[in-house]
Amino acid sequence: MTNSQYNEQNEQDELQRYLEEKARQEQEQEKQKEQEPEQLSAYEACVLRESARIHELIAEAQKKNNEHLEDE
């Protein structure tokens, strides 16, 4: 192996190690982002609470309607 071939191989090895380390760091960052709870704004939290309440009211109304139909 000539000196230039050795240098080229060495550069390729260094580049490969750099790219592998960069990919590992990016994976770790993605993993951390997934584990961190997403902060909701006050508006978003309010919308979610109201949406849940609407679903509860709909379920109650359907239950009462079904009970009423069964009584007839």
1 within 8 A of 9, measured Cβ to Cβ:
yes
Domain coordinates of the chain in residue numbers? 1-36, 39-72
Average pLDDT over residues 3-13: 86
Does residue 8 carry a pLDDT above 90? no
Q: What is the tens place of the pLDDT at every residue in 18-46?
A: 999 999 999 999 888 777 777 789 999 99
- Cα 2 to Cα 35: distance, rounded to the nearest angstrom: 50
What pTM does this model have? 0.44
pLDDT of residue 62: 95
72 within 8 A of 64, measured Cβ to Cβ:
no
Residue 13 is encoded by which pair of tokens? 């090895």
